[in-house]
Amino acid sequence: MALKRATIFVSGDAQMAGFRGFVKKLADSLEIKGYADNLPDGRVQIVCEGEEKGIEELINSIKNKAPSLSKVEDLQIEYEDYAGEFADFERRGKDVPKKATLDDLLEVMKSFDNKAEKMVGVLGGINKNTEKMLEKQDTTIGILKSVKEDTAQIRLDTAQIRLDTAQIRLDTAQIPGIVENTGRILEHTAYIPAMREDIASIKTDTREIAAKLWEKYEEMSKEIAQMKITLSKIEAKVFS
Protein backbone atom coordinates (compact mmCIF):
# COMPACT_ATOMS: atom_id res chain seq x y z
CA MET A 1 0.00 0.00 0.00
CA ALA A 2 1.35 3.44 -1.00
CA LEU A 3 2.30 5.90 1.68
CA LYS A 4 1.12 9.51 1.36
CA ARG A 5 1.26 12.86 3.07
CA ALA A 6 -1.71 15.26 3.15
CA THR A 7 -2.29 18.75 4.49
CA ILE A 8 -5.94 19.43 5.28
CA PHE A 9 -7.47 22.83 6.07
CA VAL A 10 -10.82 22.58 7.83
CA SER A 11 -13.13 25.62 7.59
CA GLY A 12 -16.22 26.16 9.72
CA ASP A 13 -16.81 26.03 13.47
CA ALA A 14 -14.11 23.55 14.45
CA GLN A 15 -12.03 25.32 17.11
CA MET A 16 -12.76 24.93 20.84
CA ALA A 17 -15.20 22.13 20.03
CA GLY A 18 -13.17 18.98 20.75
CA PHE A 19 -12.29 18.70 17.06
CA ARG A 20 -8.52 18.18 17.36
CA GLY A 21 -9.04 15.51 20.01
CA PHE A 22 -11.48 13.78 17.67
CA VAL A 23 -8.93 13.88 14.83
CA LYS A 24 -6.11 12.55 17.06
CA LYS A 25 -8.19 9.62 18.29
CA LEU A 26 -9.19 8.78 14.72
CA ALA A 27 -5.60 9.12 13.42
CA ASP A 28 -4.24 6.85 16.19
CA SER A 29 -6.79 4.16 15.27
CA LEU A 30 -5.69 4.36 11.61
CA GLU A 31 -1.94 4.44 12.48
CA ILE A 32 -1.57 7.88 10.91
CA LYS A 33 1.19 10.26 12.08
CA GLY A 34 1.19 14.04 12.12
CA TYR A 35 -0.62 16.81 14.01
CA ALA A 36 -3.76 18.98 14.21
CA ASP A 37 -3.41 22.68 15.04
CA ASN A 38 -5.71 25.72 15.38
CA LEU A 39 -4.88 28.54 12.97
CA PRO A 40 -5.37 32.26 13.77
CA ASP A 41 -7.94 32.63 10.96
CA GLY A 42 -10.30 30.16 12.67
CA ARG A 43 -9.43 27.13 10.55
CA VAL A 44 -7.90 23.86 11.75
CA GLN A 45 -4.80 22.58 9.97
CA ILE A 46 -4.15 18.84 9.83
CA VAL A 47 -0.85 17.47 8.52
CA CYS A 48 -0.83 13.69 8.31
CA GLU A 49 1.25 10.85 6.92
CA GLY A 50 0.35 7.22 6.49
CA GLU A 51 -1.20 4.70 4.14
CA GLU A 52 -3.33 6.23 1.40
CA LYS A 53 -6.42 4.21 2.43
CA GLY A 54 -6.12 5.38 6.02
CA ILE A 55 -5.79 9.04 5.01
CA GLU A 56 -8.91 8.77 2.81
CA GLU A 57 -10.83 7.21 5.69
CA LEU A 58 -9.65 10.03 7.96
CA ILE A 59 -10.91 12.63 5.48
CA ASN A 60 -14.31 10.91 5.10
CA SER A 61 -14.74 10.74 8.88
CA ILE A 62 -13.92 14.47 9.21
CA LYS A 63 -16.62 15.22 6.63
CA ASN A 64 -19.32 12.95 8.02
CA LYS A 65 -18.58 12.14 11.68
CA ALA A 66 -17.30 15.38 13.23
CA PRO A 67 -18.19 16.11 16.91
CA SER A 68 -21.69 17.51 17.51
CA LEU A 69 -20.38 20.84 18.82
CA SER A 70 -18.35 21.44 15.67
CA LYS A 71 -19.45 22.24 12.12
CA VAL A 72 -17.32 21.41 9.08
CA GLU A 73 -18.18 23.69 6.15
CA ASP A 74 -15.28 23.06 3.75
CA LEU A 75 -12.09 21.01 3.34
CA GLN A 76 -9.01 22.05 1.35
CA ILE A 77 -6.66 19.11 0.77
CA GLU A 78 -3.11 19.19 -0.57
CA TYR A 79 -1.30 15.90 -1.25
CA GLU A 80 2.50 15.52 -1.10
CA ASP A 81 5.07 12.77 -1.11
CA TYR A 82 5.49 10.81 2.10
CA ALA A 83 8.35 12.25 4.20
CA GLY A 84 8.28 10.13 7.38
CA GLU A 85 8.55 13.30 9.46
CA PHE A 86 6.42 12.27 12.46
CA ALA A 87 6.66 9.60 15.12
CA ASP A 88 3.04 9.87 16.23
CA PHE A 89 -0.03 12.09 15.95
CA GLU A 90 -0.41 15.04 18.31
CA ARG A 91 -2.64 18.00 19.11
CA ARG A 92 -0.93 21.37 18.81
CA GLY A 93 -1.89 24.83 19.95
CA LYS A 94 -1.63 27.28 22.83
CA ASP A 95 -4.05 25.19 24.89
CA VAL A 96 -1.79 22.10 24.52
CA PRO A 97 1.43 23.02 26.39
CA LYS A 98 4.59 20.98 25.85
CA LYS A 99 5.99 22.09 29.18
CA ALA A 100 3.92 22.50 32.30
CA THR A 101 4.79 26.17 32.85
CA LEU A 102 2.48 28.56 34.66
CA ASP A 103 1.80 30.49 31.45
CA ASP A 104 0.91 27.29 29.65
CA LEU A 105 -1.51 26.29 32.40
CA LEU A 106 -3.16 29.72 32.20
CA GLU A 107 -3.62 29.30 28.45
CA VAL A 108 -5.21 25.90 29.03
CA MET A 109 -7.59 27.37 31.61
CA LYS A 110 -8.55 30.18 29.20
CA SER A 111 -9.26 27.57 26.56
CA PHE A 112 -11.48 25.67 28.99
CA ASP A 113 -13.35 28.90 29.75
CA ASN A 114 -14.01 29.44 26.05
CA LYS A 115 -15.24 25.88 25.67
CA ALA A 116 -17.48 26.26 28.73
CA GLU A 117 -19.00 29.47 27.32
CA LYS A 118 -19.69 27.71 24.06
CA MET A 119 -21.34 24.80 25.90
CA VAL A 120 -23.51 27.24 27.89
CA GLY A 121 -24.64 28.84 24.63
CA VAL A 122 -25.58 25.46 23.16
CA LEU A 123 -27.47 24.47 26.33
CA GLY A 124 -29.23 27.86 26.35
CA GLY A 125 -30.47 27.26 22.80
CA ILE A 126 -31.73 23.81 23.77
CA ASN A 127 -33.54 25.31 26.77
CA LYS A 128 -35.26 27.96 24.59
CA ASN A 129 -36.39 25.31 22.11
CA THR A 130 -37.77 23.22 24.98
CA GLU A 131 -39.72 26.20 26.34
CA LYS A 132 -41.23 26.86 22.90
CA MET A 133 -42.29 23.23 22.62
CA LEU A 134 -43.95 23.38 26.05
CA GLU A 135 -45.80 26.58 25.10
CA LYS A 136 -47.11 24.96 21.92
CA GLN A 137 -48.17 21.89 23.93
CA ASP A 138 -50.09 24.07 26.42
CA THR A 139 -51.82 25.91 23.57
CA THR A 140 -52.85 22.63 21.93
CA ILE A 141 -54.23 21.27 25.20
CA GLY A 142 -56.25 24.48 25.70
CA ILE A 143 -57.74 24.22 22.21
CA LEU A 144 -58.71 20.58 22.76
CA LYS A 145 -60.36 21.43 26.09
CA SER A 146 -62.33 24.27 24.47
CA VAL A 147 -63.48 22.03 21.61
CA LYS A 148 -64.53 19.34 24.10
CA GLU A 149 -66.58 21.85 26.12
CA ASP A 150 -68.25 23.24 22.97
CA THR A 151 -69.10 19.72 21.81
CA ALA A 152 -70.70 18.89 25.16
CA GLN A 153 -72.81 22.09 25.04
CA ILE A 154 -73.95 21.35 21.49
CA ARG A 155 -75.07 17.88 22.57
CA LEU A 156 -77.08 19.38 25.44
CA ASP A 157 -78.67 21.92 23.09
CA THR A 158 -79.49 19.18 20.59
CA ALA A 159 -81.19 17.12 23.30
CA GLN A 160 -83.30 20.12 24.34
CA ILE A 161 -84.31 20.77 20.74
CA ARG A 162 -85.43 17.16 20.41
CA LEU A 163 -87.61 17.54 23.52
CA ASP A 164 -89.12 20.77 22.19
CA THR A 165 -89.79 19.13 18.83
CA ALA A 166 -91.57 16.20 20.48
CA GLN A 167 -93.78 18.61 22.41
CA ILE A 168 -94.62 20.53 19.23
CA ARG A 169 -95.61 17.28 17.56
CA LEU A 170 -97.92 16.44 20.45
CA ASP A 171 -99.50 19.89 20.29
CA THR A 172 -99.90 19.65 16.51
CA ALA A 173 -101.57 16.24 16.83
CA GLN A 174 -104.33 17.82 18.90
CA ILE A 175 -105.30 20.30 16.18
CA PRO A 176 -107.69 17.93 14.27
CA GLY A 177 -109.59 17.26 17.51
CA ILE A 178 -109.94 20.99 18.14
CA VAL A 179 -111.33 21.55 14.62
CA GLU A 180 -113.73 18.61 15.00
CA ASN A 181 -115.04 19.93 18.32
CA THR A 182 -115.47 23.35 16.78
CA GLY A 183 -117.67 21.81 14.03
CA ARG A 184 -119.85 20.09 16.58
CA ILE A 185 -120.27 23.33 18.48
CA LEU A 186 -121.41 24.99 15.26
CA GLU A 187 -124.04 22.28 14.70
CA HIS A 188 -125.46 22.59 18.20
CA THR A 189 -125.45 26.39 18.20
CA ALA A 190 -126.72 27.01 14.67
CA TYR A 191 -129.81 28.66 16.06
CA ILE A 192 -127.96 30.95 18.46
CA PRO A 193 -126.80 34.00 16.50
CA ALA A 194 -124.78 35.40 19.34
CA MET A 195 -122.66 32.27 19.67
CA ARG A 196 -121.96 32.02 15.94
CA GLU A 197 -119.67 35.01 16.02
CA ASP A 198 -117.81 33.61 19.04
CA ILE A 199 -117.40 30.22 17.39
CA ALA A 200 -116.16 31.83 14.17
CA SER A 201 -113.59 33.73 16.20
CA ILE A 202 -112.50 30.56 18.00
CA LYS A 203 -112.08 28.77 14.67
CA THR A 204 -109.96 31.61 13.29
CA ASP A 205 -107.79 31.66 16.41
CA THR A 206 -107.43 27.88 16.21
CA ARG A 207 -106.23 28.08 12.63
CA GLU A 208 -103.74 30.83 13.52
CA ILE A 209 -102.43 28.72 16.41
CA ALA A 210 -102.11 25.71 14.12
CA ALA A 211 -100.20 27.82 11.54
CA LYS A 212 -97.83 29.20 14.18
CA LEU A 213 -97.20 25.76 15.62
CA TRP A 214 -96.41 24.42 12.16
CA GLU A 215 -94.00 27.32 11.46
CA LYS A 216 -92.31 26.65 14.81
CA TYR A 217 -92.04 22.96 13.94
CA GLU A 218 -90.36 23.73 10.58
CA GLU A 219 -88.00 26.25 12.22
CA MET A 220 -86.94 23.77 14.90
CA SER A 221 -86.42 21.09 12.23
CA LYS A 222 -83.99 23.41 10.34
CA GLU A 223 -82.11 24.21 13.56
CA ILE A 224 -81.74 20.50 14.35
CA ALA A 225 -80.34 19.83 10.87
CA GLN A 226 -77.81 22.71 11.23
CA MET A 227 -76.74 21.53 14.71
CA LYS A 228 -76.12 18.03 13.33
CA ILE A 229 -73.87 19.44 10.59
CA THR A 230 -71.92 21.56 13.12
CA LEU A 231 -71.52 18.61 15.50
CA SER A 232 -70.23 16.38 12.69
CA LYS A 233 -67.59 19.00 11.72
CA ILE A 234 -66.38 19.41 15.31
CA GLU A 235 -66.18 15.64 15.90
CA ALA A 236 -64.26 15.24 12.64
CA LYS A 237 -61.79 17.97 13.77
CA VAL A 238 -61.32 16.48 17.25
CA PHE A 239 -60.83 12.87 16.19
CA SER A 240 -58.94 13.41 12.91
Q: Which residues are known catalytic residues? A: 20, 38
The answer to whether the beta carbons of residues 69 and 17 sit under 8 Å apart is: yes
**79 DSSP assignment:** E
For 20-30, letters b (16+ CB in 10 Å) and e give bebbbebbeeb
The SS3 assignment for 81 reads: strand
CA dihedral over 71, 125, 24, 29, signed as positive or negative: negative
Question: Under 8 Å CB-to-CB from 191, ≥6 apart: which residues?
Answer: none
In 174-192, where does DSSP find H-type helix? Answer: 175-188
CA nearest to 46, candidates 82, 92, 83: 92
The answer to whether the beta carbons of residues 36 and 92 sit under 8 Å apart is: yes
Q: In degrees, to the nearest 5, what angle opens at C-alpha 214 toward C-alphas 213 and 220? A: 90
